[in-house]
Amino acid sequence: MGRLGERLAALRARGEKALIPFITAGDPDLGVTEALLLALADAGADAIEIGIPFSDPTADGPTIQRSSERALRGGVTLRRVLGMVKALRPRLDVPLILMGYTNSFLTMGERHFPEAAREAGVDGVITVDCPPEEEPAYFDALDACGVDAVLLVAPTTTDERLAMLAKRTRGFLYYVSLTGVTSARTTLPPHLEENLARIRKVASVPVCVGFGISTPEQATAIAKYADGVVVGSALVDRIGRAKSREEAVTEATTFVASLKAALR
């Protein structure tokens, strides 16, 4: 079991729910991303998703799309993000998960990218648009390198496929609670309790819920049924609206601390 699995197992053992914030690497620049990673860990993040900016992020709504555009204009690449993670790792013990698209990761090679991720100190990878059966050698290479391949399930996932994904995922199973793209929402997803109960019947790994969570109250409500919550758009929006680097870090840290307090 890697760092991600160990962290989630420890939280589960003491009845605490995981908070996994998402930020886009390089938004507004990698210097701010470095400061954010350190600050969010201190604010109580149990793991952090680092979005790899991509020109066509089909699963992401306008907020994260704009953050990717800002990062790409600044020249952020996957290799630069891996270099940042490697440099920060001695000062950062929170699990780090790269979230991105097939083109970003497999351009480096289905075997080379998992090796580079391991060397950088990456704990997990979410490849949004790559089902495990489509690139088995890639997922096998992640396993061989000890990098958790976190898989996604949705409300529309069939029972047969759910069983396969629950068995194949590593670290945790990511429940995409809404059909559509990422965005902050004011109401909880429909049929949440029912859908999570169905997932838990076949999944022994922790189940974390993302897409649409934007307040501590929503996080608390979802955590009644899940092992953790993933918060992206609401956090990225605060970073994007900040008037300075310092304000971006302060706003993000305050928000993440409020979310974690609600989950303890």
User: Which positions are catalytic?
Assistant: 49, 60
Cis peptide before 132 (omega within 30 of 0): no
Please, are residues 53 and 72 in contact by the beta-carbon 8 Å criterion?
Answer: yes
Task: Print the SS3 string covering 152-176.
Answer: EECCCCCHHHHHHHHHHCCCCEEEE
Please answer whether residues 149 and 142 qualify as being in contact, where contact means their C-beta atoms are separated by less than 8 angstroms.
Answer: yes
Question: Could you give the CA distance from residue 124 to residue 8 in angstroms, rounded to a whole number?
Answer: 13
Contact residues for 135 (Cβ-Cβ < 8 A; gap 6+): 102, 106, 110
Q: Which of 27, 16, 72 is nearest to 249 (CA)?
A: 27
Radius of gyration of the chain (CA): 17
What sign has the CA pseudo-torsion 56, 165, 107, 27? positive
| Strand positions, DSSP E, 119-224 | 124-127, 148-149, 151-153, 173-176, 207-210
Rounded alpha-carbon distances, angstroms, from residue 209 to 28, 54, 79, 119: 26, 23, 28, 28
